[in-house]
Amino acid sequence: MKLVQSFIGCVLFVAAGATQAAAETAARAPDRIVTVRLANGLKLAMAPDSLATTVDVTLWFPAASRDERAGRTGLTHLFDGLLFAGTASHPSGDQSRMIESEAGTITAFSSSDFACAGENVAPGSLEMALRLEADRMQHLSLTPETFAAARVALGRERSASAARSAAGAGLRRLYAVAFPGHPYGRPAEGLEGDLDRLALTDAQSWWNARYGPDGTWLVLSGAFNPDSAEALVRRTLGAVPRRVLPRPEAPAPAPQSAERRGSGHIASSLPLLLVGWRTPSVRDGDAPALEALERLLTHREPSRLQRQLLADSVGVISVAGGMDLRRDAGMFYVIANVSPAADTAQVERAVIEAVESIGRDAIAPAVALSAIQQTETETLFGWQTPQGLGHALGLAACFEGDVNAATAKFEAVRKLTPEALHETAARAFVPAHRTIVWMWPGAPETAAPPEPPARRTTPKGAHAKRGRS
Amino acid sequence: MRRASCRVRAAGPGNSAGSHGLRRVALRRFKALALVALLVPAKPAPAALATGSVGATLVPIERTLPNGLRVAVFEVHRLPIVQIELVVPAGQTAEPPDEAGIALLVASMLARGTASRDAATFDADAARLGGTITVRASRDVMSMAGGFLSAHLAAGMELMSDAAVNPLFDDDKIQARRSLHLRTLRQLRRDPVSLADQEIWAAVFGDRPYGRAPLGTDSSIVSLTRGAAERFHRDHFRPDRTILVVAGDVSADSAFAEAATWFGHWEGHARPVAGSRAPARAARPRVRIVDLPNAPYTSVRLGAVLPGRGASDELPLSVALARFSGGASSWLQRPPVRRRLGGSVAGSLLELTDGGLYTFGATVTTDSAGATVRLLRDQLEEFLRHSPTDAEIAQLRRAASFGFLAPLETLGGLIGEWSSAASSGLPGDALPRAAERLAGVSAREIAEACARWLNPDSLIIVAVGPARSLEPQLAAFGRIEVVKVPLPPVPRSDSVAVTPETVALGRAILERALRAHGGVDSMLAIHDSVIDMKVSLGPPPGTMWGTLTQIRKEPGKMESVTHLQGVDVREVLNGEQAWSMMSSTQSAQDADSTEVAALRAGFGSDLPHLLLALRADGVRLAGGPATRIEQQEVECVEMRSARGEWSKYYFDAHTHLLSAIDLFQDAPGEGVAVARRLYSGYRTVGGLQWPFREVRLLNGENLRRFEVQSVKLNFGITDREFDRPGRMR
């Protein structure tokens, strides 16, 4: 187990008491992952790498769109922009100028389960990056002006994305049908109308509760000395006052026990079929196999799905798919552009068969092993840089509260077998977990007629006369 | 070797081809600060860059196999992965002058099947390893790279050895690739930006290999045969001048052992490559105008020859130019410049074995081209006069070092940087030397290098746009050379003489073709059809992809649904009426007579209608002499209809299937071809031979490409499908 020996595996978790600084950092060694909980609640994970030349600094906040309360959705996404509103000592734009002038880069993004912000810098710029983050955490300029500007920008982004992508509209509808009543069923950018309802006080409350040190992970990876880095963290982010405020969390979505159907309209002339299968969450033991199954079905060109659905003349014009594993649930989805003249029932059957057959029929061992190898290879190549590794550790911290989960999951991938893939597929890709959504050409504003969708069927006898390509 | 990097503008074909040498100096992280020239007393250079343990990994362990193959191994035991790269001196500089473009063609053929593995087997074997193999050709070298788990080192190396030593050069694939390159070349000639990126190389390097277009020329591409590909491969893919680099979780000994196992049997000696020494500066006209009379704008480039890899001025220049044009905080991105030139201003630095090229420029309205050239030249002059502060120099050093080292964190980055230096003849410890040099580069070194190589008054200038407008604007900058863009060859369109013999020949050719396609009865039995296609507009890199569905019903009804760039257009022909609807408006618009005619032409554009049209009343056929289309031997039938339509059908001389149609304007005495359609990829559909691939050319230039996904015949389409709706279904 080379990996465990050399780089990531030796994880020494020292979840010591908040005030036991010396004990907290005991047994730390270079090139190992060390976690430390600071007095203000900030959790620090350090993955020093003596072969790296950059340092990746990322803060993973307990700010998740799924925890936004009804009527006030979109706050987390709003902060992707608001994070750059500046402070009194570093006005808007200052942070990026300072980082970029030292050849560094900055980032900020969010999802249904977390929000992240950070920098990738030269080792000599680590202190600057930490000071800037500490300044932002304490003094972000949340004023009527910065709030209004961020809201306008988000509104523009939302309009643009709605106009751009029929697939995006289809996925929003698919999640709404698959997760009824749960925040996973609404888009990360918030529900229509909520943006207008958001007030500055909503943003301030959200900021105070979710973007402080308490409950936030700071992940450092790359070229740094862990002792001096920890000292720096203590002087900067460690000095930010704790602000413990209630952070209510949404419950996990209820399991799905029967097929669901939905429909809507898109600004397109081609019908769009989306089929999703609810899967276990990223924390479940099946997650490694699900990631390999995603590669089996959708990776390389042409993918298995493309080979089966495009070559079979069933009326599918293009097809794509993906696995979306979240903290409390997951979904594997297929998106198919369908010919207007196609037999929709036949298209549905073909798409479902292409996915569910891998749980019902045996997967060729060579094909399964190939998918497992791809998952393993891509994961490792992604971990080559501090940025890639830091991202993996941050996700593990957000999803499982433990940076070790990244390596544990990788080890689980390595142990996968073709049988395990087949068994996971058999559990996940079943009718009871399935959601089918048809998006019909039409004005989107009239969207979402209740299910079941109108079906177009092939005239009697037409099948027998169809040519095969 | 290469420098600190500057991320610069989008590449033209010359810049995008390869990883070695050609990779533009990525100013990626180097949005750094200040610098520039002059007269600041040099600060003492730091003793060494604090590369620490990184420095130790930047020098590989090397051995040479008995067959001459140089093998270099970087032991990086961080993760259980390996990266393998084979670097062959088979870039553009190795091409025979009359076979320009052969390197790119050969690169596209490698790792696509071998003597013992067909393409599908090769892909499957690569997939089984979970890895990837890519091949790229650049001006100096060709490189094949693969990334694998370290446990698969042997299997990965075997696969790469097979791909490199025993490639399969398939006639059909070469022909398809050659056609693609030809169309791409012709399409690029319409784009002032791509043309400017390409022509600055020609203006600076003339007819030396670096001056050639990587794709080749019209005549050279046409001459690239399987024999030429095999010859190029045989001459240059030899072990004695090739470097095999392995990096990752592997011991040097085991990497050498695997290299000996899989590459030790490789034999032969590579043909020497002459190189591409840079010309004496100012030996050529200073201003080259590439005349595109109808270009809507003009793209200008200013270029300077730089020293080749390893020259003492290389790194100081790269630091200076990163500051000048290498990113969002560079000199050329300052608000006063951006306000006048917009976002198109950018620079690019490429350092190759036998010389480098620095270019910067912008794309502007034609009437401001002269002012733009002056502004850019003045900016360089002002930049060179600027004296950086000590703090700026220090920051610049930090950023330069960081920009150099950061890409080396990945195995691919490490191998790429090292092999780029090694293939230019630099020593094995070139990377740590460069890192140290960058960390200690002084203001004086930078100033002196700039003074030697960056003279604003001797920059080579290229402008691509309407020459008539550009000549007076650029006359003040030096001797002007106007270059005409070569026009693509137009198919001959001589009319076939109508004699009893040619009429009989025409009918005979048609009858053979109808039988070969499945017979007239099968065609007449089609009542309706649904054809789903992918459609692309233009060649890479600007290709737009979309989908097209055509639903036809006899007689004279057709619905055509196009989905392109997020916009859907639905056009319907219903007898004498037609209407259309866009997704953005959601309301139907009635078609005018021109649009109705276009839709009627579209209705007749599928295979059965095209062939049956030759049997229609009033059509005059004449069989012409056999000829060649796209290197294919074809029989020709000329058709003139009672309505004045004039076209030539070409049928494969062996299969009798439709290969091409030329559609002509009826202009007696001139016979100018206006459009050509190429058909291929035949499959059986409802008993008919149906082409699943169609390319439409206009005067030789690629307009559209259709890839049929499915064809359904007699599907049971109802007339309601073609009703004019109040709103879309």
Better-scored residue on pLDDT, B303 or A102: B303
**C-alpha to C-alpha distances, B124 to A10, B113, B604, nearest whole angstrom:** 36, 11, 41
Query: Cβ of B130 and A166 within 8 Å?
Result: no
User: At B400, is the pLDDT very low, low, confident or very high (cuts 50, 70, 90)?
Assistant: confident
Q: What is the pLDDT of residue B49?
A: 35
Cis peptide leading into residue A251 (ω within 30°): no
Query: Cβ of B551 and A340 within 8 Å?
Result: yes
pLDDT at B725 over 80: no
Q: Collect the ranges in chain A with pLDDT lower than 70.
A: 1-31, 159-164, 311-313, 443-469
User: At B583, is the pLDDT very low, low, confident or very high (cuts 50, 70, 90)?
Assistant: low
Task: For B147-193, write each residue's pLDDT tens digit.
Answer: 999 999 999 999 999 999 999 998 888 888 888 888 788 778 878 88
Secondary structure of B398-462 in the HEC alphabet?
HHHHHHHHHHHHCHHHHHHHHHHHHHCCCCCCHHHHHHHHHHHCCHHHHHHHHHHHCCHHHCEEE
Contacts of B123 in chain A (CB under 8 A): 300
Residue B546 contacts residue B565 (beta carbons within 8 Å): yes
**C-alpha to C-alpha distances, B405 to A291, A430, B49, B434, nearest whole angstrom:** 33, 50, 11, 10
Q: Which of A222-226, B40-44, B631-635 has the lowest mean pLDDT?
A: B40-44
Q: How many CB atoms lie within 10 A of CB B538?
A: 19
Q: Which of B208-222, B390-404, B663-677 has the lowest mean pLDDT?
A: B663-677
Q: Give Cβ neighbours of residue A201 (< 8 Å, ≥ 6 apart).
A: none
Contacts of B409 in chain A (CB under 8 A): 51-54, 384-386
Please tell me if residue A127 touches chain B, with a CB cutoff of 8 Å. no
Amino acid code (one letter) for B30: F
- Calculate Rg over the CA atoms of chain B: 29
Name the average pLDDT for chain B.
81
Query: Cβ of A313 and B712 within 8 Å?
Result: yes
Q: Is the dihedral of CA B388, B392, B394, B396 positive or negative?
A: negative
Which one, of B6, B638, B652, B709, lies nearest residue B315 by Cα?
B6
pLDDT at B36 over 70: no
Reported ipTM: the value is: 0.81
Task: For A397-411, write each residue's pLDDT tens digit.
Answer: 999 999 999 999 999
Q: Give Cβ neighbours of residue B252 (< 8 Å, ≥ 6 apart).
A: B61, B73, B75
**C-alpha to C-alpha distances, B2 to B416, B455, B572, nearest whole angstrom:** 10, 22, 58
b/e code A15-36 from CB counts within 10 Å (16+ = b): ebeeeeeeebbeebeebbbbbb
Cα A363 to its chain centre, rounded Å, is 28
**Angle, to 10 degrees, between the axis of helix B314-325 and the axis of helix B430-440?**
60
Please tell me if residue A89 touches chain B, with a CB cutoff of 8 Å. no
Q: What percent of chain B has pLDDT over 90?
A: 41
Helix, strand, coil percentages, rounded to 5, for chain B: 40, 25, 35
Q: What is the pLDDT of residue A136?
A: 97
Mean per-residue pLDDT for B72-87? Answer: 94
Q: Searching chain B, which residue's CA lies closest to the CA of residue A303?
A: B127
Amino acid code (one letter) for B336: P
Token pair, residue B128, equals: 């089984």
Best of A384, A387, A414, A440 to disrupt the B interface by mutation (most B CBs within 10 Å)? A384
Amino acid code (one letter) for A457: T
Contacts of B130 in chain A (CB under 8 A): 370, 372-378
Cα A239 to its chain centre, rounded Å, is 30
Q: What are phi and psi of B177, to 5 degrees?
A: -70, -40
Residue A1 contacts residue A204 (beta carbons within 8 Å): no
Q: What is the pLDDT of residue A161?
A: 65
Query: Cβ of B130 and A104 within 8 Å?
Result: no
pLDDT at B515 over 80: yes
Please tell me if residue A164 touches chain B, with a CB cutoff of 8 Å. yes
Q: What is the pLDDT of residue B587?
A: 60
Which one, of B227, B247, B195, B175, lies nearest residue B412 by Cα?
B247
Task: For B433-464, write each residue's pLDDT tens digit.
Answer: 998 888 889 999 999 999 999 999 889 999 99
Amino acid code (one letter) for B258: E
Residue linked to tokens 């094995």: B428
Q: What percent of chain B has pLDDT over 70?
A: 82
Q: What are phi and psi of B643, to 5 degrees?
A: -85, 5
Best of A51, A265, A440 to disrupt the B interface by mutation (most B CBs within 10 Å)? A51
